[in-house]
Structure 1
Amino acid sequence: MKLLMLGWELPPHNSGGLGVACFQMAKALAQNGAEIDFVLPYKASHPEADAFMNVLSATDAPPMVDDQGNYIAMGAYSGNCPLCGSRHCKHARAYTKGLTAATHRYADQIESMVRGGTTAPKIIHAHDWLTMEAGIRAKEATGAPLVVHVHATEFDRAGGHSGNPLIHDIEYFGMQAADRIFAVSQITKDIIVRRYGIPAGKVEVVHNSIDPGELSHTTGQTDTSYHYLRQMKTRGYKIVTGICRLTVQKGLSYLIEAATLALSRNPKLIFVIGGSGEQRNQLVELAADLGISDRVIFTGFVRGARFRELYEVSDMFVMPSISEPFGLTALEAAYYDTAVLLSKTSGVGEVLHNVMRFDYWDTRKLADQIVGISLSPALQSTLVEGIKQEYLRCNWGDVARKMMHQYSRVIANHRRLSKVSRVKEVVNRG
């Protein structure tokens, strides 16, 4: 089955979980018979992805990086101003305008590619809002059906607020034009149905998964990145970790406030926040204002061995998201025998049940849970063993087979509707 997949990033040029999910998903689809042309808005080398699919570039532009060399996903995750983190300043409006211009250019190139015969898909698969216009135009140019994959809506990215109306419109028209919609969780499906008015029968829940091969434990090579944390663990300290983009959506200010409460009851806790994003300075200042900056470590963006070893050294993983469509990092944390604490608005909670849950705003309850686990090895062990059985049932192969089945249904239905349309056209002419 020939598949045109439209996405905004792939590892190693990714700034978050979207690129990781797209990579692992495409790999599993290829193993199940899909021939994939994956088109990106930038030009770069992707040697691992090239092994199982054809990675194409819609432009000659290089990937964007920030001052620290971290990759910027060109707004795939956020409509916030990259300078101040606001969604309302003049820079944010200009930034959004620039993003929509980038999506138009990307769509122009996609249309040229399909009309020029560079790719001839049986089905088109567009990931999130930045590729939806391109997906619609590719559908119009080829006649192939369109699947839109919603990893997050603008309501999620805005941290539960209304968000950017322009992005809402793009999402609405993209989902209206789609022949089928994949949602990464039931939470996301409910938002699509309730907030965008899409019929529930048009939306299929397709949970993300993990590839254990990509998460294999380190090979014993010396790495001193977390030597301090390992030393503190030998002295009885517990390591509480959150790994995510530092944005309002992720609710990290609530985690820092909960950390203050937890430390007042158990001082042998160290909090580690891994990731980069527009909220970094604000979160650093919050930790300082609350008097716990000596117990909160900000690592910056992590990948590779340092990424895996941060999981390995952790005792607890906390996802305090205000609105988390899925939350791939929680699955990764479970793989590394870590007790997991999830906000009730995290989609990954639909596949992981042996976790502690809390309302994202309830800092007192989160603090209670952190302290409870830190003081009870038995509770920590019970959570770890319970969640292990759940992540062992997660694999991208099952997800890919479900998607291939959905593709076949979409193609068959598209052919049937096209045939009916042609018959009606003949009847009307007669």
Structure 2
Amino acid sequence: MRDAKILMIGWEYPPNITGGLGVACKEIAKNIASLGYNVDFIVPKLHGNEEEIDGIRLLDIRKVWELLGSNEKAELIKENETILESLPERLMFSPYFSPGKKQERSPGITWSSQYPENMTQELSEKIPEIAGGYGPDLYYDIRMFSKIVSLLGEKIRPNIVHAHDWMTFLAANELKRKKNIPTILHVHATEFDRCGESGNEEIKRIEREGFESADRIVSVSEYTKNIIRDKYGIDENKIDVAHNGISPTAEGRENWGENNITDPIILFLGRITHQKGPDYFVKAAAKIVREVPNVKFVMAGSGDLQNRMIELAADLGLGGYFHYTGFLNAEKAHRLYSMCSVYIMPSVSEPFGLTALEAMSHNLPVILSKQSGVSEIVHQCLKFDFWDTDSLAEKAISILKYGPLREEIGNQAKAESERINWMSTAKKIAQVYRSFL
């Protein structure tokens, strides 16, 4: 049943992204569509600069709102107040903010049964403001998004619902509850990956209930599958693994132009959060500079630990060695890869690690944490336990000091990256689809 209708639910879509989740969602949808499936992909908000792809219809809340009848809109207006009344105080912070930083609750819409036309107009103005992202209205947005998606599902009647990460799980569960549509939850990261044992208990509950309700779960690695089994108590036979891939259009460093940089540069690229292990990168840097004094370090990305990492580097006497770029779009990230000598991914808990594959595609030697999903499928790289900064430093020093070694590792990494693609991911997911069609 290749022409089956798939409703994919996501929270972000390129080029308007905060990390690897949106990239993975687009590439999965693109390759699923190329296999002959019809994909409706809904996110909270589209920006008008998204790529049009055959077989994919992009939808957002504004577009769905236009499809709804007056009764459905009135239902959403009532639901809005119910959501606001039910949000507990424990949801007033999110893992995407610094711990303990309280967020203000969205004022939402005031419901009045005497003036439904006015309320419909008011909600129609509010709806486009549910813009995805990870701001202070995150929990309100998620709950409202789930109700809107469930109404969409009733209209388009998909054969399968495929939801990406916890922000979409409520929407998928709502559709399963109301229409019993087969539901697949795609796990790109869990709350344990993001925050360890100290994560948000409400998010863990949403994840656990989603996992229990779903018909199947797709994880991006065996590493993540084990977390779902061990931390959430889910039967491993319910979980399929489909490793991420990389776009075949990714180019090597020579395609991004020459540069005049002579000093070696070691790169960290990712969110500067606990999960990504930036402190281990900085601590290893202090050991590397003793052997390679002309080395420089770039931390590309943003996150709640950024200021702390700047302070740590300064405390270790590394202030002059570090450069901080903030978040980079895809083009700037590719150019940065081409300028660097080594890429380090020191993640504490990494469900996959797309940036490692991107770096490899640029002939860049990669040193990555064993506590990552990507380490399961790549072999032309060096690996270490995230806490072992001595091992990390030794590997980086060896690569920087021995040019032939650096060149050989980079070339082998490039060749290996070319064998890892999104079509392989899509075919594994299609096998899961076929069990319901």
TM-score range, shorter chain: 0.7 to 0.9
Question: CA 1:147 to 1:81, structure 2 compared with 1: closer, same or farther past 3 Å?
Answer: closer
Q: Which residue of 1 aligns with 2:364?
A: 338
Shift of residue 145, structure 1, vs aligned partner:
0.1
CA contact (8 A) 2:248 2:418 kept: no
Shift of residue 214, structure 1, vs aligned partner:
4.8
Q: Which residue of 2 aligns with 1:30?
A: 33
Alignment length (residue pairs): 379
1:142 equivalenced with 2:179 (yes/no): yes
Shift of residue 46, structure 1, vs aligned partner:
4.1
Question: CA 1:231 to 1:363, structure 2 compared with 1: closer, same or farther past 3 Å?
Answer: same
Distance in 1, matches of 2:144 and 2:347, equals 33
Q: Which residue of 1 aligns with 2:48?
A: 45
Distance in 1, matches of 2:413 and 2:255, equals 24
Q: Percent identity?
A: 38
**What does 1:234-383 correspond to in 2, within 5 Å?**
237-383=263-409
Shift of residue 375, structure 1, vs aligned partner:
0.5
**What does 1:115-134 correspond to in 2, within 5 Å?**
115=154, 117=155, 119-134=156-171
Q: Secondary structure at the match of 2:261?
A: helix
CA contact (8 A) 1:8 1:131 kept: yes
Shift of residue 93, structure 1, vs aligned partner:
10
Q: Which residue of 1 aligns with 2:109?
A: none
Q: Which residue of 2 aligns with 1:107?
A: 146
Paired residue for 2:216, among 168, 180, 189?
Answer: 180
Distance in 1, matches of 2:385 and 2:251, equals 29
Shift of residue 101, structure 1, vs aligned partner:
1.9
Question: CA 1:286 to 1:52, structure 2 compared with 1: closer, same or farther past 3 Å?
Answer: farther
1:6 equivalenced with 2:9 (yes/no): yes
Matched to 1:208, the amino acid is: N
Distance in 2, matches of 1:198 and 1:214, equals 36
Q: Which residue of 2 aligns with 1:18?
A: 21
Distance in 2, matches of 1:340 and 1:304, equals 19
Q: 1:349-379 CA deviation, whole Å, 9 max, x = no partner? A: 0111121111111112211111111101122
Q: Secondary structure at the match of 2:386?
A: coil
Distance in 2, matches of 1:144 and 1:218, equals 48
Paired residue for 2:240, among 204, 218, 221?
Answer: 204
Question: CA 1:31 to 1:217, structure 2 compared with 1: closer, same or farther past 3 Å?
Answer: farther
Shift of residue 269, structure 1, vs aligned partner:
0.9
Q: Which residue of 2 aligns with 1:396?
A: 422
TM-score (norm 1): 0.83
Question: CA 1:261 to 1:173, structure 2 compared with 1: closer, same or farther past 3 Å?
Answer: same
Question: CA 1:385 to 1:23, structure 2 compared with 1: closer, same or farther past 3 Å?
Answer: same
CA contact (8 A) 2:13 2:23 kept: yes
Distance in 2, matches of 1:218 and 1:389, equals 15
CA contact (8 A) 2:256 2:335 kept: no
Shift of residue 220, structure 1, vs aligned partner:
6.3
CA contact (8 A) 1:218 1:308 kept: no
CA contact (8 A) 2:298 2:324 kept: yes
CA contact (8 A) 1:43 1:60 kept: no
Distance in 1, matches of 2:271 and 2:55, equals 28
Q: Which runs of 5+ in 2 are unaligned?
A: 65-92, 107-133
Paired residue for 1:162, among 190, 198, 202?
Answer: 198
Distance in 1, matches of 2:418 and 2:350, equals 22
CA contact (8 A) 1:321 1:343 kept: yes
Q: Which residue of 2 aligns with 1:71?
A: none
TM-score (norm 2): 0.82
Q: Which residue of 2 aligns with 1:418?
A: none
Shift of residue 135, structure 1, vs aligned partner:
0.3
Distance in 1, matches of 2:375 and 2:256, equals 32
CA contact (8 A) 1:39 1:56 kept: yes
Distance in 2, matches of 1:132 and 1:350, equals 27
Question: CA 1:279 to 1:51, structure 2 compared with 1: closer, same or farther past 3 Å?
Answer: farther
1:79 equivalenced with 2:105 (yes/no): no
Question: CA 1:407 to 1:365, structure 2 compared with 1: closer, same or farther past 3 Å?
Answer: same
CA contact (8 A) 2:191 2:203 kept: yes
CA contact (8 A) 1:351 1:390 kept: no
- CA RMSD after TM alignment: 2.3
Matched to 1:175, the amino acid is: F
